[in-house]
């Protein structure tokens, strides 16, 4: 039996905990035990599902504030758990728990890159290069959700050695359903409006204010449109204030975190992801699987170019350009067919199992 420990920030409803959940689901018929160590002990949808799969949760101190306490607590967890694999999802700070795992004698130590965030300046570059080196020394395996994420977290030379792991979903869960679309649009009072949608944490990096500006532009053009936001986060109050100041409060629905995101994707007509940075874009994959035309910022990796109704747009061109793209986006195709396209391109979770088995030396 293999014992695996995932280390991540939390297991509320974010993309990383969704990746961990998908990995654990893919191994549920293997002879493995998997646990999670997190900062945030509050469990959301993903955390509760992981518990149902048999995952134990351990809460760690914040390593940036309490590095010594963090080290002691993690060493205790590793000693008691006797783990064969430690899989860390901290991006460019993964080296700290990986070094602890290395000195604890853990043989398989994985650094997993989930972001392509970048910065400028000599200080940033110096810190990044040091972190790249520390990760290469502390990890036995490098993994990433995209080439861009691998370069960002590991450096260009080391990125060539990274194992690319497609962020996978259950394709059938996200296949478009017309009946759900009709009933939910009716219950939300959307009628025949053009409905834009965003899914994800309402944080600065998601740049949801830009989506609100796009909606405002469409309304000024006389288009009857609404924006539906699925998710919650620190920017919510500011975004609500912005909607009131623009006079479009009634056109924006804040639904909060939802455990059934796939149902609301049926409601949308166009999906927007104007993110400042993304390692992959899990929500975009789910939207594509639901057959939505997807407008994505050029800050997002080009993993979705296989889908004919994805449009990569520059944020620098402003909300006017995005509003124009929405007007020309194809919305007449059969949305049900998109799930099959996603499966053929290797993003169905059924294709994940063999990759993870190899990563953990299970086969």
User: Whole-angstrom Cα distance, residue 35 to residue 148?
Assistant: 28
Q: Hey, how many other C-beta atoms are within 10 angstroms of the C-beta on 331?
A: 13
**Does residue 265 have a pLDDT over 80?**
yes
Mean pLDDT score of the chain: 93
Among 340, 327, 358, which residue's Cα sits nearest to residue 290?
Answer: 340
pLDDT digits 0-9 by tens, 316-345:
999 999 999 998 887 888 999 999 999 999
Query: How high is the pLDDT of residue 51?
Result: 93
Do 141 and 19 have their domain in common? Answer: yes
* Banded model confidence at residue 363, pLDDT cuts 50, 70, 90: low
Do 255 and 160 have their domain in common? Answer: no
Query: How high is the pLDDT of residue 13?
Result: 67
Do 153 and 197 have their domain in common? Answer: no
Do 106 and 254 have their domain in common? Answer: no
Note every long-range contact of 328-335, with CB atoms under 8 Å and residues 24 or more positions apart, other chains counting. Answer: 329/270, 329/293, 329/295, 330/293, 331/269, 331/270, 331/293, 333/291, 333/309, 334/291, 335/176, 335/290, 335/291, 335/292
Do 190 and 164 have their domain in common? Answer: no
Q: How many domains does the chain have?
A: 2
Do 160 and 246 have their domain in common? Answer: no
**Does residue 29 have a pLDDT over 70?**
no
Note every long-range contact of 308-311, with CB atoms under 8 Å and residues 24 or more positions apart, other chains counting. Answer: 309/333, 309/338, 310/284
Query: How high is the pLDDT of residue 329?
Result: 87
Domain that holds residue 203: 171-344
Do 20 and 89 have their domain in common? Answer: yes
CATH assignment of the domain containing 270: 3.40.50.2000
pTM of the model: 0.78
Do 185 and 157 have their domain in common? Answer: no
**Does residue 360 have a pLDDT over 90?**
yes
**Token pair listed for 154:** 């590991």
**Does residue 47 have a pLDDT over 80?**
yes
| Rounded mean pLDDT, 261-286 | 93
pLDDT digits 0-9 by tens, 142-165:
999 888 889 999 998 899 999 998
pLDDT digits 0-9 by tens, 106-152:
999 999 999 877 677 788 889 989 999 999 999 999 999 888 889 99
User: Whole-angstrom Cα distance, residue 100 to residue 63?
Assistant: 12
Do 135 and 184 have their domain in common? Answer: no
User: Whole-angstrom Cα distance, residue 180 to residue 162?
Assistant: 40
Do 204 and 178 have their domain in common? Answer: yes
Do 111 and 214 have their domain in common? Answer: no
**Token pair listed for 3:** 């014992």
Do 160 and 298 have their domain in common? Answer: no
């Amino acid at each position: 039996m293999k014992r695996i420990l995932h280390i991540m920030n939390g297991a509320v409803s974010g993309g990383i905990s969704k990746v961990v959940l998908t990995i654990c689901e893919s191994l549920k018929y293997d002879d493995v035990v998997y646990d999670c160590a997190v900062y945030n002990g509050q469990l959301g949808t993903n955390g509760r599902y992981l518990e149902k799969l048999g995952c134990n949760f351990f809460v760690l101190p914040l390593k940036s504030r309490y590095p010594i306490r963090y080290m002691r607590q993690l060493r205790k967890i590793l000693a008691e758990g006797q783990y064969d694999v430690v899989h860390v999802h901290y991006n460019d700070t993964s080296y700290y728990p990986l070094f602890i795992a290395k000195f604890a004698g853990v043989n398989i130590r994985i650094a997993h890159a989930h972001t392509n965030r970048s910065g400028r300046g000599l200080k940033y570059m110096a810190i990044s290069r040091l972190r790249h080196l520390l990760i290469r020394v502390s990890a036995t395996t490098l993994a990433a959700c995209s080439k861009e994420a691998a370069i960002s977290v590991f450096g260009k030379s080391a990125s060539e050695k990274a194992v690319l792991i497609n962020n996978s979903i259950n394709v059938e869960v996200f296949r478009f359903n017309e009946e759900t679309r009709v009933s939910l649009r009716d219950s939300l009072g959307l009628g025949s409006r053009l409905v834009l949608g965003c899914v994800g944490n309402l944080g600065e990096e998601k740049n949801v204010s830009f989506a609100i500006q796009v909606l405002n532009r469409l309304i000024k053009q006389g288009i009857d449109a609404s924006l539906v936001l699925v998710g919650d986060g620190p920017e919510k109050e500011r975004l609500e204030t912005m909607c009131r100041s623009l006079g479009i409060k009634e056109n924006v629905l804040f639904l909060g975190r939802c455990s059934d995101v796939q149902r609301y994707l049926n409601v949308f007509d166009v999906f927007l992801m104007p993110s400042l940075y993304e390692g992959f874009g899990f929500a975009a994959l789910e939207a594509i699987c639901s057959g939505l035309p997807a407008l994505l910022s050029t800050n997002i990796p080009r993993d979705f170019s296989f889908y004919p109704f994805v449009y990569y747009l520059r944020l620098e061109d402003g909300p006017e350009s995005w509003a124009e793209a929405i007007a020309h986006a194809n919305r007449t195709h059969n949305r049900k067919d998109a799930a099959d396209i996603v499966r053929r391109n290797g993003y169905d979770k059924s294709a994940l199992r063999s990759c993870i088995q190899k990563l953990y030396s299970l086969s």
